[in-house]
Amino acid sequence: MSGAALVEVAGLHKRYLAHGPEAVAGIDFSIVEGEIFGLLGPNGAGKTTTIGAITTRVKPSAGLVTVDGFDVARDAVSVKQRIAVIPQRPNLDRSLTAIENLVFHAAYFGEPRRTRRRRAEEMLERMGLEGRADDKVDTYSGGMAQRLMIARALMHEPRLLILDEPTTVLDPQSRLFLWDTMTDLRERGVTLMLTTHDMVEADRLCDRIAVVDHGTIIALDTPRGLRSLLPAERGVEVTVAGAQPLELPGGDGVESVEGRVEEDRWHGRVYGDVTAARLAELVRAADRDLIELRRMEGTLEDVFVHLTGRELR
């Protein structure tokens, strides 16, 4: 990634109770303007605490956090002007209707009276809530409440949008909608940070991912970079017509082969430094029909197990 850092977290520690354990035990990272940055880790890893430190809601025990150059501890108001948060649990204003939630939020951020309502209507429409503008928010389903919170967050055009486990409680359709929304926002130049314990989500959305466990970052890279940490998962997966195994001469970086037959096809997992192109040549040389050829990259789930020796959930 290139570009300037929008968020800098340096040496962050947080201990909630004087003699309790550290919820965050020394975290450093930066978020580059325009990227989608993920914090991936199991429950209790310290993700929400880290978000709290960025959003002025948690006072660090040690360390420095800045947003757009403003120190969170010393210039909280400037930080709050630049960020928006979609929390783990809904926090909508239950005394108000949906559109009133947006209108008043905009007012908190100094949006002129003339334009508040129109902007709110546009935002509701963008989030597919236009028919429900005047409903009280406690009649909203979980997915709708979240879309409303996103609409609210966008009312003041934040530079950084933070989502804490946004898809944990969503049905598949709302989840896809959210993913599309996040990708769309990123294209409009909004920087995003999300926490998740969902590998597929992290893999699909994030430009970079910090894997956190027990309050520390144990790896930080692109999804592809993280997967390449898996030694055994380097290789190529190949499917050819015909039940007999593919003959592979030695060399070419092949370390081992696992094969199986399925309905007159042979599937092989060829481990080692062998390239897909070289394998395609070998298939042709053996005079076999190539059906599928795929580089194996492993899943982030495997990466997590590899790094910590534990399942993620």
Partner 1 sequence: MNRASNQAFVALFERDLYVTFRKDLIPFLSQSLLQPIFFLFVFGRVLPEIGAARGSYGIALLPGVLALTLMLTALQNVALPLVIEFSFTKEIEDRLLAPLPVTWVAGEKLLIAALRGILGGILIIPLGELILPGGVDLSNASWIGLVAMIVIGALAGACVGLVHGTAVPPSRITIAFGLILTPFIYTGATFYPWESLDGLRWFQVVTLANPMTYVSEGMRGALTDQPHMAAGWVALGLVVSLAVFGFLGVRGFTRRAVD
Identify the residue whose tokens are 């080692």: 272
x/- mask, partner 1, residues 257-286, rule CB under 8 A, reads ------------------------------
Query: What residue ranges bind Mg ion (CB under 5 A)?
Result: 47-48
Phi, psi of 73 (to 5 degrees): -75, -30
Q: Per CB under 8 A, does 61 bind partner 1?
A: no
Report whether 237 contacts 294 (CB < 8 A).
yes
Cα separation, 69 vs 39, whole angstroms: 21
Report whether 312 contacts 197 (CB < 8 A).
yes
Return the number of the residue (46 or 235) whose C-beta is nearest ligand ADP: 46
How many residues bind to partner 1 according to rule CB under 8 A?
Answer: 33
Q: Smallest gap, in angstroms, from Cβ of residue 190 to ligand ADP?
A: 22
Cα separation, 63 vs 229, whole angstroms: 29
> Quick one: which segment of 46-54, 175-183, 242-250, 260-268 binds ligand ADP (CB under 6 A)?
46-54
Which of these, 279, 274, 297, 275, lies nearest to 239 by C-alpha position?
Answer: 279
Q: Per CB under 6 A, does 16 bind ligand ADP?
A: yes
Which residues, other chains included, contact 142 with Cβ-Cβ below 8 Å and sequence gap of 6+?
Answer: 90, 169, 170, 174
Name the strand (E) or helix (H) holding 238: strand 235-241
Q: Per CB under 8 A, does 55 bind partner 1?
A: yes
Q: Per CB under 6 A, does 167 bind ligand ADP?
A: no
Q: Per CB under 8 A, does 13 bind partner 1?
A: no
Q: Smallest gap, in angstroms, from Cβ of residue 57 to ligand ADP?
A: 10
Cα separation, 85 vs 72, whole angstroms: 15
- Among Mg ion, partner 1, ligand ADP, none, the one that 256 touches (CB under a kind-dependent 5 to 8 A) is none
Q: Smallest gap, in angstroms, from Cβ of residue 291 to ligand ADP?
A: 42
Which of these, 190, 217, 110, lies nearest to 156 by C-alpha position?
Answer: 110
- By CB under 8 A, the residues from 99 to 118 that bind partner 1 are 100, 104-105, 107-110
Q: Per CB under 8 A, does 18 bind partner 1?
A: no
- Interface with ligand ADP (CB under 6 A): 16, 23, 41, 43-49
